[in-house]
Structure 1
């Protein structure tokens, strides 16, 4: 299975889309599209394994945000709200129906903004390793936690992290301030859609108490922990894909808070 790759420009800013779907569904806008949004410094490569697992049953689009994944830098910092708008508009421009937004690390901030601002098209939200915990919004603290996570990530993910960081440095630095200042514990309360928080049990960045707080603050939230580090979606791609699929089925069948996933 090979992804269809295209770059679209929204208000002059480039967003790269990697679309992967079951045979014949690359252009299908009837079923839900799972949109995957990476963290700061990263790219679509942080979802390589999990996207393949999800694409066996869902139409999926993994994005590269402006300035990341080899795209030109925006030349300025972009707010999480602006990034959320960009991703929604980019995905809709290529044809999509209902959207399930999945964000990892800083991507969780982006998808929460997408859900807040576009409740008409974003049906549900999955937050993988949400950042940044209240009381830990200092660069040295985050750098230390990132170093700790590197000790438990696999060789491949560490290689992706280093190479992606190096090629995104011009956008990485401006985005640090918006990411560090974003108060997810406040904005998640405005999200009316179902929210699934997924955390790796070895994640030193998105710790248990913080992740549980995010899930509890959401109006319709649930928390699930899988064995693994901050990028648990790549350590456990099949389990993660099954979890997202179950989350969707519970919503479809019950139309209520996904208590069974707790």
Structure 2
């Protein structure tokens, strides 16, 4: 598993003679603090896309419970790029291609983790636009691990996307459930979803937005919000996941 670190293009030390005009432009932009424009389709063709995994810890049992798949582009000259550096301006069709690649890689990687003794419940972020374009239930059925103890896959959809069309989200969630795929509401707390809308959606996880998790042990308001979200998830028979925990408190 890899952490959420990346190579800063501003520290690039390779030979400039080996760089294309586009790459020189990217390097200059990076030195100016401007995110480089990356062709995602080229990154997929050249196999620059990597899937890193952020561990999910069960705080009660104090053990590894799962992991979230994170897409990274490992450019030969610019180093490892975060989604914010290559997703800006990407159209829905390209985003669907990227999502499909990441989905299949995550399914294949589960077998690698399992062989090492880790039966992990893996999760992957999927935008609603990709859910509408991709036959995800079929992709999972055709590419899922054959092991009988495979725990299934979690698809994370941000709260702000879910609240735009609850009925559509419910329909998609029901289709995914048949294929062993459950839904997590990501970045919960900023999308203004109501209790009525949550009641309509069969979600397996409620991921509390990191802005509320930060300093929740020392700030009364954030702590109250986190506790409310945890209680809410449990009342719906779901799991609460805190994003961005930085210390033991």
Range into which the TM-score falls when normalised by the shorter chain: 0.3 to 0.5
Higher-RCO chain (CA-CA 8 Å, sequence separation at least 6): 1
TM-score for both structures, normalised by structure 1 = 0.32
